[in-house]
Structure 1
Amino acid sequence: MNKNLYLDVHVLQTVPPSCVNRDDTGSPKTAVYGGVNRARVSSQSWKRAMRLEFNHLFESEQIGFRTKNIKMLLVDRLKELDTTKDLSTLEKIAEVALTEAKIKSTGGKKDVLFFISSTQIDALAKLALEYSSDDSSKKEKDKKYKDKWRDALTNNPSVDILLFGRMAASDPELNFDAAAQVAHCISTHAVSNEFDYFTAVDDCNTDDNAGAGHLGTVEFNSSTLYRYSTVNISELMDNGLNIDEVGDVINGYLQAFIKAMPTGKQNTFANRTLPCFTYVTLREDQPVNMAGAFEKPVPKSSNGYEAKSIEAFIEYTKKVYDNYVNFPTKSWVVCLDDVSIDADRVKMNNLPELVIDKLKKLN
């Protein structure tokens, strides 16, 4: 695809008391922006939540595994393909295949996490059996299979590999550039972390004066978050997807980004919420993160932060469009309240279909 085409997704979402994403001390992650402390959720955390959501949105063969246990996956597939060989033999075949494919491992595990699709595991397993039964000399086999190993690991990437990329330090030819970028989300306003002091009672203790069986503290905050991501549609098509396949990917991506939630301390806080405002655009110039709308933090108000955050976002986008970039080729908004913005007002259930229809018209 020769022209630029980007899908930008902007979300405002209020999260009640929670600890969605913790740092190394167990505290909710924060960042200083606009001179004040903000709540923050890392892009890695939200992408992980999205990948878990992909399990419900895509077929199993469309998604991949990010793991050190490549050998285990390969052996399991070899068992299905060849029931005549014992486990020890299949493990040796797998080890040889991983070595030939330049997937370094120690003690049966890869040294670092590796992203691989279900289809690539299947291709690697079939090639491993073919290689093991080939009676040619090692030199001849190396020449014959060199490109086959690479093809097995580069053809048929999964949806999540296409979107989030893959880096293989041991063999850069196996790398995939990410078609999607996800920003660290931040609160639109200043935030101070708080502490919950809790106790737990021993149900089987008969001593009325024994006190609590356990006590502790958990840190939390609450905030209205600005979340942003962008998908390079051209990149997806350059990687071999046709427009229908791109539509399938965008459908799942929109649903996952808008609805998924990281699971940190979820059992403690039950903080699953949905956005109050979602603004989706198709751009033919460049992606634009609108976090600058909140460089000046939204002030405290007895009416909360949502309405003022939406107002600040709309005002800022107009300034950006007037001074720096073109208006989007097409835009949609999903919002709980009435808003004044130049975009089609839609419901979430209809949003993916409308975006895909427009994509097809542009192509």
Structure 2
Amino acid sequence: MIIELHLLQSFPASNLNRDDLGQPKSVTFGGVPRGRISSQCLKRSARQLFTSYGLDDENVGTRTKRLVTAASELLVERGRDSETAQEIVAAGLHSLGFGVERNRLTQYLLFVGRDAVTLLTDFCDDNWDALAAGIEEAKKKEKKTDDAATKISKVKPEKETAAEAQRIFDASRAADIALFGRMIADNTDFNVDAASQVAHAISTHAVATEFDYYTAVDDLKRDDEQGADMIGTIDFNAACYYRYANVDLSQLANNLKGDDELVAQAAGAWLSAFVHATPSGKQTTTAARTMPETLLGTVRERGAWNLANAFLRPVTGSDIMRTSTTNLMSHFQKLREFYGTDELREVVGASISADTAPLSDSETALTLDDFRHRLLTSALS
């Protein structure tokens, strides 16, 4: 089963997800510039809420390049020498097939299970002498070369060590890795196919980036001193965004090794988190803490319908949310009239400020709890 989630969410003046110039991200769609929030931003915002909506800490992963530091600190707590602990962990990761830079960061931002640091520490502790011997041998070889490498290159581990690496970096209990996947270019054996697809959110209407010119005054300035002590600008926009995401429960179950209870918890956390997730960019200066006003969810046996083309012609007028809702529901209705409804098991819509027609009364939820319950019950039954 596949759960799809379509949201319309309007934000006032904000800069939720900025580009390299500090401006709100944008995209041209339907011939006009639109506001955009990247899928990476939305996924991170949702992932940070998973433990608030049903997942235990042990069932979410960690994204990091600092495994060497984390594991070496545990080794020191166990009584190992602090000066060599980092070298030992770096050598341990090297033997497991992961490259480590000279600055003790892994080559990639790794997405690992919550127990990976402890398991890596155990491996290094148990193999301390062998790893130390390998370090000394590597140093002897390095002295014989004029051009020292800038990083420790990756090696292919032995069969027994490869099995240990699979145990340490196993992700079958990490629901967020199961949902969003893991890709390690040089270690494809550790890749996980994502169960969830997330689209970049785009505004339903044309958007122009504006800027706020601000000044600040030194509180200790004398009354006879003129002028501002700080001057600058902050870019922002205001937009109603269409957000779309889906999750394939079959792929999720495969990634979580068929643990039905964890699949149900992960699906529930995914649904609630995506409804409540708000990007954190510039929130201190804008407080753009709004909630989605229109929701449309489906449960289908196969396929997926991103409804962004409902806004290929940009929405105009002063009542953007109401018109966007009408366009969304109308476009969905036309698609199911043309392509049929054989694959659709459940359709549920809700809106705080607009009519959900042409959805029927039986397809309309009055509360978020009802919306969530109907989708999950249908998908998991």
TM over 0.5: yes
Which among 189, 198, 207 is matched to residue 173 of structure 1? 189
Offset of residue 320 of structure 1? 0.8
Superposed, which structure 2 residues align to 1:55-66 within 5 Å?
Answer: 55-57=51-53, 58-66=55-63
Give the distance between the partners of 1:231 and 1:323, measured in 2 at CA.
Answer: 24
Superposed, which structure 2 residues align to 1:32-71 within 5 Å?
Answer: 32-57=28-53, 58-71=55-68
Mapped contact 1:12–1:276 kept (Cα < 8 A): yes
Mapped contact 1:120–1:157 kept (Cα < 8 A): no
Decide whether aligned partners of structure 1 residues 210 and 55 sit closer, same or farther in structure 2, where only a CA change above 3 A counts: farther
Mapped contact 1:119–1:157 kept (Cα < 8 A): no
2:170: which partner in 1? 154
Mapped contact 1:100–1:149 kept (Cα < 8 A): no
Kindly provide the CA deviation profile for residues 188-241 of structure 1, in whole angstroms up to 9, marking residues without a partner as x. 111111121111111110144511111121111111110000111110111214
Give the distance between the partners of 1:154 and 1:167, measured in 2 at CA.
Answer: 13
- The count of residues paired between Structure 1 and Structure 2 equals 350
3-state SS in 2 of match to 1:154:
coil
| Matched residue type, 1:15 | F
Give the distance between the partners of 1:241 and 1:56, measured in 2 at CA.
Answer: 23
- Larger mean Cα displacement after TM superposition, 236-245 or 339-348: 339-348
Offset of residue 14 of structure 1? 0.6
Offset of residue 245 of structure 1? 1.2
Offset of residue 142 of structure 1? 4.0
| Matched residue type, 2:89 | A
Offset of residue 143 of structure 1? 4.4
1:219 matched to 2:235? The reply is yes
1:308 matched to 2:305? The reply is no
- Larger mean Cα displacement after TM superposition, 216-225 or 11-20: 216-225
Decide whether aligned partners of structure 1 residues 323 and 106 sit closer, same or farther in structure 2, where only a CA change above 3 A counts: same
1:19: which partner in 2? 15
Give the distance between the partners of 1:31 and 1:75, measured in 2 at CA.
Answer: 44
1:231: which partner in 2? 247
The gaps in structure 1 that reach 5 residues or longer are none
Mapped contact 2:96–2:161 kept (Cα < 8 A): no
| Matched residue type, 2:185 | A
1:85 matched to 2:100? The reply is no
| Matched residue type, 2:61 | G
Kindly provide the CA deviation profile for residues 61-88 of structure 1, in whole angstroms up to 9, marking residues without a partner as x. 11122121111222234456xx232323
Sequence identity percentage: 32
Mapped contact 1:243–1:360 kept (Cα < 8 A): no
1:293 matched to 2:313? The reply is no
The gaps in structure 2 that reach 5 residues or longer are 135-156
Superposition RMSD in Å: 2.2
- Larger mean Cα displacement after TM superposition, 59-68 or 147-156: 147-156
Mapped contact 2:113–2:171 kept (Cα < 8 A): no
| Matched residue type, 1:231 | V
Decide whether aligned partners of structure 1 residues 195 and 91 sit closer, same or farther in structure 2, where only a CA change above 3 A counts: closer
Mapped contact 1:104–1:170 kept (Cα < 8 A): no
Give the distance between the partners of 1:267 and 1:173, measured in 2 at CA.
Answer: 42
Kindly provide the CA deviation profile for residues 139-194 of structure 1, in whole angstroms up to 9, marking residues without a partner as x. xx944333222232135351221111111112110111111111011111111111
Taking structure 1 as the reference length, the TM-score comes to 0.90
